[in-house]
Amino acid sequence: MPTIAGRSLPAARAKRSNRIVTTKTRSLDSVRNIGFIAHIDAGKTTVTERVLYFAGRTHRIGGVDEGTTVMDWMDQERERGITITSAATTCGWRDHTINIIDTPGHVDFTAEVERSLRILDGGVVVFDAVAGVQPQSETVWRQADRYDVPRICFINKMDRVGADFYKAVDSISHRLQANPVIVQIPVGSEDEFEGVIDLVESKICRFTDTVGSFREGPVPEEMIEEYRTHRDVMIEKVAETDDDLIVKYIEGEEISKEEIKEALRRATVDNQLVPVTCGSALNSKGIQPLLDAVTDYLPSPLDVPPVTGTDAGSGEESFRDASDDEPFAALAFKIVSDPFIGRLVYFRMYSGKMETGDSVYVSSTGRRERLGRVVRMHAERREDVSEVRVGDIAAAVGLRSASTGDTLCDPRSPIHLETITFPEPVVSVSVESRTRAGEDKLQESLQKLSEEDPTLRVSVDSELGQTILSGMGELHLEIVADRIRREFKVEANLGSPRVAYREAATRQARGEGRFVRQTGGRGQYGHAILEIEPLERGTGFVFENKITGGAIPNEYIPGVAKGVEEALLTGPLSGFPVVDLKATLLDGSYHDVDSSEMAFRVAGSMAVKSALSRARLVMLEPVMKLEVVTPGEFLGDVLGDLGRRRSNIRSIEGEGDIQVVRAILPLGESFGYANALRSLTQGRAGHTMEFYRYEEAPSSVTAQR
């Protein structure tokens, strides 16, 4: 048994010892770009708060419940207790720089999660020790899988009545099909949650009465059995990922703590294992060991594969190593309009070094801009920096043309890094200012907000003269209206939500478009024959040119494609866009003098409209994934109501008196669901909902349109 002399580590000392490593002094392997991800209410915000506190960057502990947190700096976030925008903030731990990218827990803000996952290197997934894996943690876990983000888990709320660490870990294996490896076990739980035992270091961190402090010591006698059992499991799991260690393990040789750490780090970075720690963020317990695990096991920018993109000149695939010696390249992941400082473009550096005053190539516009000012963020506080290097996360002030997903890079070696994709909005409302005077301000606020949030669109319904706001769900749009009121001081009225239907073809069809005007002077001549065919859901629009023998000269082909695309924006059934369609241009003709791109645009549009009229179109409606957690006594009412809403019940699972209903619900039937559920269940049920996909709508819906 290793013995460690008891020593106490009060919070204040821990704080002082954690200096921030400046860009100049740090080496890249000591940088961690991480995000905390979780189901809403699991305690992500509280954990982030405590991490910032113990990593020495805030001077008081914020509390979500009192609405004083550092990360949740927008008013309505404080009130609603959910984190909507992702701020990036920097802190230091054990000579490491930790950049924290805040990710929202609410699934209505999928875009925020997606963009955070795209730019972070590792994640800390926070679970509630009572609830274990919850639906949103499942959603976010799958997203993290898609981006191959290495993770560690933090089982939070060990103080709660009913907290069950091992059951929560089990739910990670079963519901997420992950391979968790426990690296810290709790000593006691609920009221008696007294400390954690670090299985790698073989020591106990026993919490003291001073908030946030603990005393380290040898594993106590009464815990030895439990410690050994779990340590053996840990070593076995780690050894299985490493050829040398497995031999040692089988031969019964001692495996050192350094060997375990190293192999565990490799396996975590490689996404083979997920280390699990635990604590109670609210009581500031287990945060420092969590920070140790972040630095020990999560990847540095050097550990992740080089970022890929396409060379802006040749169009060929290209990549950048995470090295200072490469030309600089960064990805803009968020735009924020700051009332004081102006337009902030948050970016992550993937290679090289960028200094203020440098000329920067912005990929979407092809423009060069001068990098005027760069700031590093600590939620509301910011510090100016004169250079940023590979691995850094910072924000540029005054870059006018950059938007979310843009590459910012060295104009001498322009590259387009793989961009961030966002889902199309599925619900719209009309929005108007309550007063005439507010109208301009409303437009200005909408422009700023839609620039910040790529899943928010603003358009004008010219027939009704209304401004239309489109987004990812009812709550999403409500929050936007809230921000308009608070941040821009405009009282706005929202209309009732409307579903963004789509139209789709169900069979192949051909169409011909002939646009000919030849009455004196220079005429117009465009002629196109094309075939359309349905594509799989979610594919979008594909155009293929199969013209041979110059029936239509190459210079006019883009005109045809443009015309087709324009025509698809207004489908023949109800005026909703036609999606998931391939158009193949087969034939046509031209006139030496009268043909123009414009004429072919019209011809393309006419041809596809003619084809659509024969393609047996159907309406598609967005459907949502719904999960309701309700006390058993209301189950019948909840199901009855869902039945009336045309929902498709996927599963009903019960545990104790709590029933979990998973269902698919058409978006059009989901409006007002929060209120309905509240009144059905006396406010005792909760639900989460997120966009799932488009499905063919029944004819009753089509008929109403």
Q: How far is the CB of 286 from ligand GDP (least distance, A)?
A: 9
Nearest to ligand GDP of 103, 450 (CB atom): 103
Q: How far is the CB of 283 from ligand GDP (least distance, A)?
A: 6
What is residue 616's DSSP assignment? -
SS3 call for 669 = helix
- Paired tokens of 555: 């210079």
CB atoms under 10 Å from CB of 438, counted, come to 18
Phi/psi for 426 (5° steps) reads: -120, -5
Q: Are 28 and 121 in contact (CB under 8 A)?
A: no
Nearest to ligand GDP of 159, 503 (CB atom): 159
Nearest to ligand GDP of 26, 57 (CB atom): 57
Nearest to ligand GDP of 282, 667 (CB atom): 282
Task: List the one residue out of 501, 492, 426, 430 whose CA is nearest residue 464.
Answer: 430
Q: Are 427 and 485 in contact (CB under 8 A)?
A: no
Nearest to ligand GDP of 78, 625 (CB atom): 78
- Paired tokens of 117: 């996952």
486 φψ region: left (φ > 0), alpha (ψ -120 to 50), beta (else): alpha
Q: How far is the CB of 60 from ligand GDP (least distance, A)?
A: 16
- Paired tokens of 487: 């941040």
Residues interacting with ligand GDP, by CB under 6 A?
Answer: 38, 40-46, 64-65, 81-83, 105, 156-157, 159-160, 280-282
Per residue in 131-146, is it b (16+ CB within 10 Å) or e — as a string?
Answer: bbbbbbbebbbebbee
Q: How far is the CB of 137 from ligand GDP (least distance, A)?
A: 10
What is residue 326's DSSP assignment? S
How do 581-589 and 541-545 pair as beta strands?
Answer: parallel
Q: Are 415 and 310 in contact (CB under 8 A)?
A: yes
What is residue 654's DSSP assignment? E
Nearest to ligand GDP of 41, 482 (CB atom): 41
Q: Are 534 and 505 in contact (CB under 8 A)?
A: yes
Q: Are 660 and 654 in contact (CB under 8 A)?
A: yes
Per residue in 492-504, is it b (16+ CB within 10 Å) or e — as a string?
Answer: bebeebebbbbbb
Nearest to ligand GDP of 156, 351 (CB atom): 156
How do 342-351 and 393-397 pair as beta strands?
Answer: antiparallel
Nearest to ligand GDP of 65, 236 (CB atom): 65
Q: How far is the CB of 141 from ligand GDP (least distance, A)?
A: 15
Task: List the one residue out of 500, 528, 501, 506 whose CA is nearest residue 581.
Answer: 506
Nearest to ligand GDP of 154, 694 (CB atom): 154
Q: How far apart are CA 698 and CA 704, in angstroms?
A: 10
Q: How far is the CB of 214 from ligand GDP (least distance, A)?
A: 15
SS3 call for 525 = strand
Q: How far is the CB of 71 from ligand GDP (least distance, A)?
A: 9
Q: How far is the CB of 104 from ligand GDP (least distance, A)?
A: 9
Query: Which residue(s) pair with 528 in the sheet?
Result: 513, 588
Nearest to ligand GDP of 167, 537 (CB atom): 167
Q: How far is the CB of 77 from ligand GDP (least distance, A)?
A: 10
Q: How far is the CB of 142 from ligand GDP (least distance, A)?
A: 18
Q: Residue 323: CB partners within 8 Å, gap ≥ 6? A: 351, 352, 390
Q: How far is the CB of 34 from ligand GDP (least distance, A)?
A: 15
What is residue 521's DSSP assignment? S
Q: How far is the CB of 80 from ligand GDP (least distance, A)?
A: 9
Q: How far is the CB of 112 from ligand GDP (least distance, A)?
A: 13
Mutual angle of helices 110-119 and 135-146, in 10-degree steps: 40
Nearest to ligand GDP of 280, 605 (CB atom): 280
What is residue 285's DSSP assignment? B
Q: How far is the CB of 126 from ligand GDP (least distance, A)?
A: 6
Q: Are 245 and 263 in contact (CB under 8 A)?
A: yes
Q: How far is the CB of 123 from ligand GDP (least distance, A)?
A: 14
Nearest to ligand GDP of 45, 90 (CB atom): 45
As a whole number of Å, the CA-based R_g of the chain is 28
Q: How far is the CB of 139 from ligand GDP (least distance, A)?
A: 14
Nearest to ligand GDP of 103, 455 (CB atom): 103
Nearest to ligand GDP of 105, 150 (CB atom): 105
Nearest to ligand GDP of 507, 684 (CB atom): 684
Q: How far apart are CA 324 and CA 410, in angstroms?
A: 13
Phi/psi for 402 (5° steps) reads: -75, 140
Nearest to ligand GDP of 102, 326 (CB atom): 102
- Paired tokens of 344: 């902030």
Phi/psi for 658 (5° steps) reads: -95, 130
Phi/psi for 470 (5° steps) reads: -120, 140
Q: Are 664 and 687 in contact (CB under 8 A)?
A: no
Q: How far is the CB of 46 from ligand GDP (least distance, A)?
A: 3
Nearest to ligand GDP of 284, 681 (CB atom): 284
Q: How far apart are CA 71 and CA 635, in angstroms?
A: 37
Q: How far apart are CA 342 and CA 346, in angstroms?
A: 13
Query: Which residue(s) pair with 531 in the sheet?
Result: 510, 584
646 φψ region: left (φ > 0), alpha (ψ -120 to 50), beta (else): left
Q: Are 86 and 102 in contact (CB under 8 A)?
A: yes
